[in-house]
Structure 1
Amino acid sequence: MKYFGTDGFRGEANVGLTVEHAFKIGRYVGWYYGERQGRKARVVLGKDTRRSSYMFESALTAGLVASGADVYMLHVIPTPGVAYETVDGRFDCGIMISASHNPYTDNGIKLVNSEGYKMDEDVLELIEDYIDGKSEVPLATGDHIGSTIDYMQGRNRYIAHLIASANFSLQGVKVGLDCANGSASSVAKPVFDALGADVRVINNAPNGLNINVDCGSTHIDRLRRHVVEQGLDVGFAYDGDADRCIAVDERGNVVDGDLIMYVCGVYLNKHGRLTAGTVVPTVMSNYGLFKAFDQARLSYETTAVGDKNVYACMRKNGYSLGGEQSGHIIFGDIECTGDGIMTSLRVMEVIRAERETLSQLCAPVKLYPQELVNVRVKDKDAAMGDPAVAEAAKRADEFLGDRGRVLVRASGTEPLVRTLAEAPTDELCRQANGIVLKALEPHRAE
C-alpha cells in the first residue's frame, strides 16, 4: 500500500497527509458505497482533539457530500466509538480522524467497513488509485448531493453501551483517569460517574495542541504520581484516540497490556468465558507473561505485531481475548477492536469480583527485563535474509536457553532491524543482543 498502513493513512498534517488527500478519500468513499448500494451512502465520521482534525473533518465531509453521501458527524469520540456506532447504526462505513498516540502535529484517517473491521485492502487500493488520478468519479448534482447530520445521539449511545457493559457498582472506589487531552476527555468520566466511582481526572482539557503531551498511556508517570498522591485504588491512562489503556495499581506500579491480558485471562478462564482457554498476545509480549500463562495453565497463540493481526487470529479461531503490550486489548465477545475505556471496565470487573487489589492480581507475573535495540540498515530485507544474521539469532537464543529469548524483526515502516532480548538480568539481555548486533554490523547504514 502506498498511503494506507496498518493503522490507516497517517502523516504530518498538511505535509504527509493533506486536506486534498482527505477530500479525495471522501469523494471516492462517498461514490463507492453509493454506487455499490444503489442509494445514497451513509457514513459515520468521528475525530480526536488535535487542531488539524477539524480541518480534515471539513475536507472529508465536503468530499463525501459532493459524491452524494449523507455524513453523520459524531465529532470528538474514541476510535472504538466510531467502530461501535458503524455497526449499531448500520452505516455503510465509518471514518475516524486520529493519529492515536502520535504528536499533535501528525494526523491520520482510519476507515472501517460496515462490520466495524478495518477496511478491506482491495477497497483501500481503489482509493489510492483515485488519489493518484488513475480513476475518476462523478460529482453528485441536484437532490443527489449529500447532507450532514449532527449525530450526537450516536456518541450518547456509545457511552450508554459502555455503562451497560458493566454489571457492577463502583460505589466507594477511587479511580484516577488520564485522558491524554484526547478523545476520552468527554467520555471516560461520565462512564465512571454513572457507575458510582469517586473519579479523579487529569489531562482532560484538550486545546488542540496538548494531546499526548507528557500525558496518557505513553507518558504514564503523571498518572502514577496522581494515584499515589491522591491515595487512589486504581488508575487508567488512555492514548489520544482512547483505543489503548495502561493501568496503574494502588501502589503506583504500571500494569501494561501484558499484565492486563493476564489478569483478565485468568478471570475469564475461571468463569468459563475464555474461549478454548486461549489468549492471543503478539510476539513482542514479555517472556514473563508466557511463563505466567504456563503456570496458570492458559494456552496462548502469538501473532505478528499489530492489533490487526491479533484480531484476525481471534476472529478466525473464535478466541475471546487478545492484545498488545501497549495496552491495545480486544475482548472478542464484546467488540471487534481495542477500546481503552472498555478495557478499564473489564479490569474493574475483575477487581470487584475477586475482591483483590490490582497489585495482588498481577503478583504471579514476573516480567523479564527487556532490551530493544533499533539498528538502522541500508536494506532491511537484505539484512533479514542474511544467513549470518539468522545464525546469530539462533546462537543468541541458544545462549539464553530457557532463561529467555531473542526476537529479531524488521520494522514495518522504517529501514530498521529491531532486536529484542529478554532474560532474568539486564546483563544477559545485553550479551544476547550483542551476538546479533555483531552480525548486523555489515548492514548498518552510514
Structure 2
Amino acid sequence: MGKKKTLTGALLAAAVMTVAGCSGQGTATGETANAPADPADASGTIKVLTHRTDLVQDGTMDKYAAEFNETYPEVKVKFEALTDYEGEVKIRMNTDDYGDVLMIPAAVAKNDYPKFFAPLGSAGELGGKYRFSDKAEVAGKVYGISTFGTANGFVYNKAVWKKAGITDWPTTPEEFLDDLRAIEARTDSLPYYTNFKDAWPLTAWSNSIGSVTCDAKANDKLGGAVSPWKRGSELNTIDSVLYGIVKEGLSEKDPNTTNWEASKGMLAKGEIATMQLGSWAISQMRAAAEKGGTDPDAIGFMPFPVQKGGKYCAVLASDYQQAVNIHSEHKTAARAWIDWFTEKSGFSAKEGAVPALKTAPMPSTLQDFVDNDVSFLERSEANTGQVNAIDNAAEIGLNKPDYRQQLVDLARSARKGSLEDFFADLDKRWNEAAATAGS
C-alpha cells in the first residue's frame, strides 16, 4: 500500500471533537510529556497508532522497535495500523483510548490540541531543534513533532522530457504548458496525470502556496477577506495551471479511471511524463522503476514553474505530527519513542523526506533542488487555526480534493461555467466566511 496523503494533513475535515469522561487509560492532567533523563526511567507498553499500514505489514516498524529497545529495553512498542486513519482515529478520540502515541488527525482543530495531547515542551525549546514545530504550537506550547516534511513540486520522467527536446526546467506557467504540449507532440507519453479518481493527490497543489511569491508566510496571509483567487494571487496562479493542463487535453481523457498505485509504474516506464506531488513520492516512483526494470535515475523532481529574482522557491510543509495522548499512563515512554524515532531511526532519510531535525541534512531525493540553488522555505503555520476556520466555514476545502475535482470537471466541460466565475465564487464564499469565522 502506498502513502495516501500529502505532508500537510491533506484530508482536512470539519469535525467537532468532545472528550468523553476519563474511562480509559489514564487521567488528563496536562503535564508535559518529558523525555527520560535516563533510558532506564522509561518503561511500560505503549501503543503507536499509524497510517503507514505498508510499514507495519512488511515488518519495518517492528525492526524500528527492536532498534529502539537497544536503548530503551523496558519499553514494549506495539503498532496499530489503520487504513482509514483519519476516520477511525476521529471516532476513537471521543473516548480517551486512542493509543499512547498517534499522528494528529487533520480533523482536530489546532486550538483544541491541549484537550487531547500532552504538551511536549515550549515553542522556544522545540522550535530551535525541529522544523515545523509551529504547526502544533498552541499558546506557546508544542503538542506534536513532525514525522518529516516535504517539498512540493512535480515528479517527472527525465527521459521523456529529454525526448521531447526539453533540457531546462520551465520558469513560468506558460513555459510549463509549452513543455507539456511538446511532450504531447513529440512522444507517446501522456504529458500529465491528475490522479483524479483517488482524489487525495489533488490536495498537494495547495502545498505550493508560498512557492509562487517565495513567501513562507503566504498561507498565514489567507486569514482574512483577502480574495485568495483574485488575479495575480498564488491560488489563481496554481489553479490556473491545473485548469490549463486539463482544458488543453494534456492529461488523461477520462479522469474517473485514474489509479494511484498503477500511476507509479506508468511514470517509471515513461507512459506518464509528469505528476504534481510532494517530494515524498520520489522514492516510491524510483522503487516502482526498480521493480519494473527501468532506470530509477530517470525519475526527477522539479519546482513549481515560477521564479522570484531568478530563483525557484520550494515551500517545505510538515507531514503528520506525532503526539502523546493526554490520557496515556506511559507519557515518558511515549515521548522517548517520539524523540528516538525522529532523531535516531533514520526514518526520514529512508523515506527520502525532509527531516524534522534541523541539524540533519537534506535527503538525496532533493539533490537536484540543492544543485540548482532552489530556495527552501519552511512554511509558517502561525495563522493556520484562523485560515482553517475560514476554509471550513466557506466549505471550500483547501486541503480536500473536492474543489479541485470541480475545477478539473470545469476544465473538461463536465461542469458548466467559466474559470473566472469559478474563482469569483470561491472568493465570495471565502470573504463571507472570513467575516464570521477565524477571528
Q: Could you state the TM-score of these two structures normalised by the residue count of structure 2?
A: 0.28
Which has the larger share of strand? 1
Give me the TM-score of the superposition, normalised by structure 1. Answer: 0.28
